[in-house]
Structure 1
Amino acid sequence: MHTVSYLLSFYLFLGTNVGALVACILYKIPKIKAPHLYLLCGLVLTALLVLELIPHALKEYGFISVAFGASLGVLICMGLHDVMEGKSSPTYRPAFFLIASIAVHNIPTGLAIGSTVDHPILSTSFIAAMMIHQIPEGLAIMASLLLSDRKRLSILVFFLFSVLLSGIFFFFSILGHSLALPIKLNGLILGIAIGFLLFTAVWEFLFKKHS
């Protein structure tokens, strides 16, 4: 069981880093400016939410727990935004919210996969779906780091956080194999992650950067 979790965590790490590589390539293109990357990240995250995360969450966990979690996630982001206002680089906040949202998102994902890891889910299509799912998230995190005041450390910081995110997934996949958590709790956690991503995509990437 641990071998499967290790492999899935590695594929998650790999997909995230592919997204980071795409961000680095785009960043080096002279015609692509900071507003273009912010817009791209906002649109990518919005598409990920609308086309995949929200429909999947509603189908698996129901409207009430997901909507409550998403509302709670947005409120938490608003509170964190007010606390961080003036205390950190404004261009560094999107990376913080993104990493936090993906970390929260990896909790129910790890629990769900850990609870079904004994089934033959480790197919080529499943692995490809995991990697593709991580690419836009890696792109958005790396782009926000490259556009921050700490761009010289962006690659190292990204590597450390990508290891952390994979580690969170691995830990909760192990936990999910041994625990049977209520479905509503998973829906609430995933809803919080959706709220984090929604706030980051709309406020930090789309509205604020282009207002």
Structure 2
Amino acid sequence: MGIISFDLIPHTLKNFDFKGVLLGALTGYIVMLLIGHFFHHKEELNVSERTLGFLVAAIFFHHIIMGFSYGAVTLFNSYSFLTAIILHQIPEGIAIMTILLIIRIKGITFLYIISILSVVFGVSAFLGESIKETARTVDTLLTGTAIGTLLFVTLNEIIGKSKKQFGRIPLLLMITFGAIMIKIYISLLPD
């Protein structure tokens, strides 16, 4: 919630067309609903494995957007932007590793996942570099898609399914603590 509230949404509202972002967010949310429909019909998957699937799918879309933005905006020589991208990967890696530890999957799976996500980022950066003239519209829609996918995972899969395990008050305290930590983290990133 902290990343969405303090980083993704403010940055998006400042830099992109609201209608395009809204269309992208609806698209992302619908895509995640469809992915959820297929995951929820497989009896052999438990809740944590589905959550991992949703999280990786959301981060996959997010990496497409980040890579595309990085390539399209021509910030290859911006060390602060590159530093922000590198530091931004830390919470994503922690989230993936935490779920892998909960469902007791070996660490090699983590390496496979981050390798795939890295390739997706690189290919997206290359594509962003190659289609700069239409990049703004595509970037707006992709950013909206990232918001929609991350909102789905955060609200439905992580917070929604954690209510039963933790209760409302402890969950609210954890969300608040996490949001405060993300706010501090974002304030320390270079501009």
Normalized against structure 1, the TM-score is what?
Answer: 0.70
Query: Which of residues 95, 98, 102 in structure 2 aligns to 1:147?
Result: 102
Q: Which runs of 5+ in 2 are unaligned?
A: 165-191
Q: Which runs of 5+ in 1 are unaligned?
A: 1-45
Deviations 1:99-148 (A, max 9, x none): 11111112222122113447631x2x333312221111111111112222
CA distance in 1, matches of 2:89, 2:99: 16
Count of residues paired in the alignment:
161
Contact 1:107 1:169 in 2 (8 A): yes
In the alignment, does 2:118 pair up with 1:166? Answer: yes
Correspondence for 2:142? 189
Equivalent position SS for 1:129? helix
Q: How does 1:75-154 map to 2 (within 5 A)?
A: 75-87=30-42, 88-117=45-74, 120-121=77-78, 123=79, 125-148=80-103, 151-153=104-106
What is the Cα deviation at residue 83 of structure 1? 2.2
Correspondence for 2:189? none
Distance 1:86 1:178, change over 3 A: closer
Equivalent position SS for 2:47? coil
Contact 1:104 1:190 in 2 (8 A): no
**AA partner of residue 120 (structure 2):** I
What is the Cα deviation at residue 89 of structure 1? 2.2
CA distance in 1, matches of 2:105, 2:62: 28
Query: RMSD value over aligned CA atoms?
Result: 1.8
Contact 1:101 1:194 in 2 (8 A): no
CA distance in 1, matches of 2:75, 2:14: 23
Normalized against structure 2, the TM-score is what?
Answer: 0.76
